[in-house]
Structure 1
């Protein structure tokens, strides 16, 4: 997915003043507010490193004099957000009804049926019981006292079984086969919405207990967890070919070429039905004038509307344990890291399994600078770079030689971007491809790369 665009300067805070007294007051106030917001953003951006260092040394600052930083979460680095998140989660738990604080959640499950057995044993429990209760897991007919290791194994087995196609809950993305999206046909399983609520609870419990959960979702699904809108670019991770057709429609004059209407055909196990995107959409043609609205609506239909019930059920369970406003300090990348953890990335293996195209080679100075920057990055920055280019921070067990793309195994690629060295790096996640401009110094390359991986998923400062 192309996740960054040419860098553009933020608009000037200077506003025009109307001759009307009433309008003048409103405009001046609005302009003043925007100016203050801009000053705050510029200040925190400029001093991002020192602010994070201060917060790291004294996390309580975020609950005191530095609390405004929470309102500009792109400035906070992930480790500081995570510390703040768990601090507030603990406070919410203490203030909650703690009748269940000493409750033990005893689970006796069959290893081959962990998902079903756990689902049934959780079904009669409230969100508060699950949030406060201490898990004590026993695998049927297996020895072992749960001092933490058995619970960890339970989370691992559960994360694998919930993607079992027999449950029809999730579908692997066409782009990489390792990230998942709710299956719009999950209704074939009569208990599917109860299962989605259970999955939301389990992921929420893993977060509350600070247990890593080996589950990776599409970027659009992480957006749904945060209550953020999706757009057509998110389609690339779900259906790369369909994304290409939408991009072509946007980039070209479709007059007398495209024969589409404001409707989509849905295949329900061999039964075709038409879904209107707008009232009577099947009789309204897509034209050059309305094509942008069509692309927006058809993307929304595929990524949101078609799985709205599944999303709602998941969020119902998830928000029983994790407050909605608290999780929203994260961006999509960071939600993945919160759930699944920071990967242990072997830079040598990464570099040895990278291909170069468009005139780049391993000896080019920009490539040397790139790997110098990657080695200088901390664990979080490397994970975000991997997410930026491949769509996920997950590294295959076999290493970077087994990275997945839309057509199977696809190594990490760096392509030369000839357009302008003022552009930010951009990425195509279904090809594991980074487009890297010809920057003129190491410092510029490193700064532009950090800007791209830190900001492009949040939508700040770009058009």
Structure 2
């Protein structure tokens, strides 16, 4: 048990013989220390090896430097500085002169430049048209030829480097001195270097290689060796060339439609001569080496304003354009194009190079597409150009290029234009445009050539080759899947979409497509009609984004809308342009344009499943937003024209798959949701009413309007929001003035109940308590006075429709506040269901709906001006003979004043080319700008009471019907019977009432309207029937049946409560005669 006890009661201290007193290291610490020591040893070895390599490299370079200096001194001693002592053989590339020169020459060294230029003068001076001057000492071995070609490449490369390195010093020599036929001993360095490059890249120089093919390969090899310097040549030398006078003054650049030839070589500068030579040679050898085009010619196309700086290139423009678009298209993608673009700051970085490239391509595209040189490859070249233009537009910072701080159309204030998507909202600003004025404006003008007829017209005709004669065959081919090249058409549509989304290009693009390029019939017959007939849409690369019909329909709808806005109804009905009416609607077949438009909106707004609660996003969401905007606008325009002059029944605009019961169910569900119908804006119902309301019958939309207002009234009551709790005192002799002073309240307050108390002339309070009738009477009198043209706020058109007086501010200083107040009162009448006998002009109602007015709205305002503008539009002669300028004469109170339609346009003449713009601006001034402030004020007041979303589901005629009632031929007496109250002893079966209805039945339509005006102060019945008349129509007995004097009395009415006081007449004839007498003489009006 105690075997381990040795008698010691304490342990002996342990002694560590290792001599260390610190704590022992753990295993992990040992491993870490070992790893660090190993890493340190590796680093030491690497440093030692690197030092040896650096030392070796330095010794080698130093040795080469010493050798170069030695050879330079020997070369100088042997050949003298300029080679004056060199023998004739020294002019041969195979001589030691060039071998040694290529070894020691450094182009950045001014002394070496002198040596190089001296040798090059000998070289050029000894050239021979047969080529043997350079190669006469060459033997038949391949080795000697390779050495000779190597020396040629090196000499040409060094000459190009001289031009690049000393471009500032040689500026005047490069751009001012005429090119000479050959350099002499006094030739400048620039002309000598250029002449040497030209000789060495000339095929004739190498003919001694045995054949023209071998000579071409040799010259191509030299040119290919220069290709890596093409970017630096473009940025340092060629881009520095001065502009022609017209470009320097900032004049707008136009398409180059001709190819002028240069008269002689002496007429151009050395730089221009070099660029022409390199471009010509690269085009010549393109078939041997495609990389020369992408490495040289395409870089030359990145020189800003190439055709203005180098007119000598214009004879080559078609070939350069063709080869450039082909080579760039072979890059295959936008990232590859971005990687290829030169990034030199002198070009403005990659963005500046892209803008210059696109501008140079666009400026000559129109001429190239119709050039006979291109006819065999015109379709492929057009498709390639469309692809490249689309790529470049997608990467350019267009907002900076076009400086789009201003609106697309400076005078457009309608939502249809403002809501159109713009490229600045969708585009990534990945490229920075480092270009200053005035160059950026000139580049923008060049790029804007894309939107001109000279390029869009041939592009459309080439890629959509459909004429009226071939329309039937084209539609059949499209239906069978044999239409034009689908990929090329898609690229064209993507380009047009980008241009239409770019504010600076949008307007001109749409006008050219609609008026000059005939895109609507071409796209319809070549693609849309046939595909719609068989539903064989060809999708994009991403079918979930576009099933194949959205993008074509967006472009088509925007263009068609522009045509309808530009031309009057005569073009659509008489000339049947841009499409025959039979293509719009076909009664026996549901394959017309209306069917396609309805299909598109129905699919997007109702059928298509949204992938997420927030809706479509990204590219898919943007495309659907464009579709809703463009197709909805076109459908509305066609609907409005059909309302003016019917070409299809109203049912043709309505969705077949939306029965009223189903629509009502959806409305009720949305109204019952949290927040009510107005908050359910992402529902299918509200999407339809917002973007394509005409898919729903007008009566159904009017019921939705009433539902919304009823819901709002309930909400107002629940929140305790009411109008003034006391009576508002109104002097009967000053209704308009008192109404403005006391009821110009916030819209939220006006939605509540307002009670009126009338005050007589002497301050006495009139009898009666306002239960709604007095307020109705007040509204009728206030509206009648406010819209009276005699007070100056409103004017009447020739057909007696009212619109704001442009000169109202000169009559009434407080005019715009009054306009806002009148808007509130009209809104209050709409809110309360009070019908107003106020005929408003159609163009004014369109402005209230935030829709732009165009030429088609002008006849209602000024028919004579409209006829004059149509005459100008269709004038066959020279419009300049009419001596018109961009001005318009306005008359106020007998004083005429001339107004410029554009700033500084007083001296701008109207020509055949700009007459459409003039017509647009004249119509826009009269319909939009002249009444803009008054309209804005009126609309502001209206929208305070009636939310904008509540009325945008209607057009102008429908809004007028909401304000003033339905415009029916007569009254619906059966509906009227069902919604009338009786008082004073009358009932539905009373003999007098029965005779009353028989008399009403015998009235003409006009007499029925006069009766309704007599009772309710409005000749039109409520839009949805008499059940919506407030207050209800009432017929009260006046007097008693025993009163013998009753036969002598006339009927009277209290319009404030829609009350008819009808004496108990004893015969039908008396009832009819008394009613007509009272109605026609407005007799018996009282407020008792």
TM range (shorter): 0.5 to 0.7
Q: Paired residue for 1:110?
A: 731
1:12-161 correspondence runs (5 A): 16-18=486-488, 25=541, 29-30=545-546, 31-33=548-550, 39-41=599-601, 48=655, 51-55=658-662, 58=665, 59-60=667-668, 66-70=685-689, 71-91=691-711, 98-101=719-722, 103-104=724-725, 106-123=727-744, 125-131=745-751, 133-141=752-760, 142-161=766-785
SS of the counterpart of 1:17? helix
Tell me what 2:851 maps to: 228
2:906 pairs with one of 282, 296, 311: 282
Which structure shows the higher helix fraction?
Answer: 2
| Bigger mean CA offset, 74-83 vs 215-224 | 74-83
TM-score using structure 2 length: 0.29
Show the 5 A alignment for 1:41-440.
Answer: 41=601, 48=655, 51-55=658-662, 58=665, 59-60=667-668, 66-70=685-689, 71-91=691-711, 98-101=719-722, 103-104=724-725, 106-123=727-744, 125-131=745-751, 133-141=752-760, 142-174=766-798, 176-177=799-800, 179-188=801-810, 189-255=812-878, 256-346=880-970, 397=1010
Which range moves more in the overlay, 305-314 or 92-101?
92-101
User: 1:361: which partner in 2?
Assistant: none
Q: Is the 8 A contact 2:730 2:758 kept in 1?
A: yes
State how many pairs are aligned. 340
Supply the distance in 2 between the matched residues of 1:345 and 1:197 (Cα, whole angstroms). Answer: 34
Greater relative contact order (Cα < 8 A, sep 6+): 1
Q: Secondary structure at the match of 2:888?
A: strand
Measured in 1, the distance between the counterparts of 2:907 and 2:959 equals 41
Q: Distance in 2 between matches of 1:397 and 1:187?
A: 36
**Relative to 1, partners in 2 of residues 1:50 and 1:239: Cα closer, same or farther, differing over 3 Å?**
same
- 5+ residue gaps, structure 2, are 1-474, 495-539, 554-595, 607-651, 672-682, 761-765, 972-1007, 1013-1088
Distance in 2 of aligned mates of 1:298 and 1:26? 45
Match of 1:424 in 2: none
| Residues 107 and 118 in structure 1, CA contact (< 8 A), matched pair in contact too | no
CA distance in 2, matches of 1:397, 1:252: 47
Equivalent pair of 1:207/1:339 in contact (CA under 8 Å): yes
Task: Please state how far the C-alpha of 1:310 moved relative to its aligned partner.
Answer: 0.4
Equivalent residues of 1:55, 1:62 under 8 A apart: no
**Deviation, structure 1 residue 85:** 1.9
Pairwise CA distance, 1:56: 6.8
Q: 5+ unaligned residues in a row in structure 1: which ranges? A: 1-10, 348-394, 400-463
**Structure ID, larger Rg:** 2
| Whole-angstrom distance in 2 between the partners of 1:289 and 1:159 | 47
C-alpha offsets along residues 163-189 of structure 1, whole Å, 9 cap, x if unaligned?
233431100012x12x10110000121
Q: How many angstroms apart in 2 are the aligned matches of 1:259 and 1:27?
A: 55
**Structure 1 residue 152: Cα displacement:** 1.9
Partners of 2:487 and 2:843 in 1: how far apart?
40
TM-score scaled by length of structure 1? 0.64
Displacement after TM superposition at 1:26 (Å): 7.9
Comparing 217-226 with 239-248, which one deviates more in the overlay? 239-248
Kept after mapping to 1: 8 A contact 2:653/2:695: no
TM-aligned CA distance change 1:340 to 1:50, over 3 Å = farther
- Corresponding residue SS for 1:274: strand
CA distance in 1, matches of 2:748, 2:698: 27
Instruction: Check conservation: 1:277, 1:297, Cα contact below 8 A.
Output: yes
Tell me, in whole angstroms, the C-alpha distance in 2 between the residues paired with 1:83 and 1:259.
Answer: 54
User: In 1, Cα distance between the equivalents of 2:1009 and 2:883?
Assistant: 42
CA distance in 1, matches of 2:768, 2:541: 72
Pairwise CA distance, 1:113: 2.2
The structure in which a higher percent of residues are strand is: 1
Q: Per the alignment, do residues 16 and 200 of structure 1 end up closer, same or farther by CA in structure 2, a change over 3 Å counting? A: farther
Q: 1:297: Cα distance to partner?
A: 0.6
CA gap 1:66/1:397 in 2 versus in 1, 3 angstroms: same
C-alpha contact (below 8 Å) 1:110/1:117 kept by paired residues: yes
Using a 3 Å threshold, how does the CA distance of structure 1 residues 17 and 103 change in structure 2: closer, same or farther?
farther
Q: Distance in 2 between matches of 1:298 and 1:134?
A: 45
For residues 113 and 331 of structure 1, the distance between their equivalents in structure 2, rounded to whole angstroms, comes to: 35
Contact 1:17–1:27 (CA under 8 A) maintained in structure 2? no
> Does the Cα contact within 8 Å between 2:723 and 2:750 map onto a contact in 1?
no
Moved more, 215-224 or 48-57: 48-57
Query: In 2 relative to 1, CA 38–210 (structure 1 residues): closer, same or farther, beyond 3 Å?
Result: closer
